[in-house]
């Protein structure tokens, strides 16, 4: 994998479970992300796959550029727990490295929804996220490629199955 990238493992950011203190749970997950971002050099991008319990998405985080890109093969809306998790983790990181936190309406981080390939069914989102990660990490300009391709062929998907 290209040295510009680092993975944040999904187990570190599991979604909030029922009958759990939501704020404490999100705080714990944000601290997991912060441990990974702590010594992030400029130019390092972090790939984080996330499962809300029903669907996989991919997030690309560039903490130095204040950038979060969201790739969703079903074009669903982001859930509030995920938004709060990302916002908390990146605001904590900014405090740690001494950067000013940009004030945004309703205190949410700017998360860009990126146009990407859309899956036709409802069960291949995990494969799509793996394919997105493969494109991003193994091509020179993977983020741009994801925004211009219209579909994956069966051969493309076979590479990640």
Within 13 Å and on the Cβ side, how many CA atoms surround 71? 28
Domain boundaries, the chain: 5-158
Q: Against a cut of 0.85, is the pTM above it?
A: no
Element (H, E) at 23: helix 22-37
Q: So what's the pLDDT on residue 24?
A: 92
Please, is 33 exposed, middle or buried when counting C-beta atoms within 10 Å of its C-beta (0-12, 13-18, 19+)?
A: buried
- Which two tokens mark 87? 């916002």
State the first-to-last Cα distance of the chain, in angstroms, to the nearest integer. 18
Q: So what's the pLDDT on residue 105?
A: 46
Grouped pLDDT means (10 residues each) for the chain, 161 residues: 81 82 92 92 91 85 87 78 90 85 52 69 78 78 56 58 56
Q: So what's the pLDDT on residue 107?
A: 43
Q: So what's the pLDDT on residue 18?
A: 77
Q: So what's the pLDDT on residue 88?
A: 92
Which CATH number is associated with domain 5-158? 3.30.310.130
Q: What percent of the chain clears pLDDT 90, i.e. is strictly above it? A: 18
- Helices assigned H by DSSP within 3-124: 22-37, 80-97
- Which two tokens mark 151? 């579909």
| CA separation for the pair 7, 27 (Å, rounded) | 20
């Amino acid at each position: 994998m290209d040295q510009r990238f680092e993975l944040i493992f999904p187990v570190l950011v599991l979604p909030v479970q029922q009958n759990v203190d939501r704020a404490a749970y999100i705080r714990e997950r944000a601290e997991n992300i912060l441990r990974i971002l702590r010594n992030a050099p400029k130019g390092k991008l972090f790939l984080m796959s996330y499962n809300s319990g029903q669907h996989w998405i991919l997030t690309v985080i560039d903490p130095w550029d204040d950038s979060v890109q969201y790739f969703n093969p079903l074009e669903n809306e982001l859930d509030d727990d995920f938004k709060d998790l990302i916002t908390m983790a990146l605001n904590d990181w900014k405090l740690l490295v001494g950067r000013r936190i940009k004030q945004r309406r309703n205190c949410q981080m700017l998360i860009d929804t990126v146009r990407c390939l859309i899956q036709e069914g409802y069960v291949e989102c995990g494969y799509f996220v793996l394919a997105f990660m493969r494109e991003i990490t193994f091509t020179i300009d993977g983020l741009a490629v994801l925004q211009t391709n219209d579909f994956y062929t069966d051969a493309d998907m076979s590479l990640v199955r």
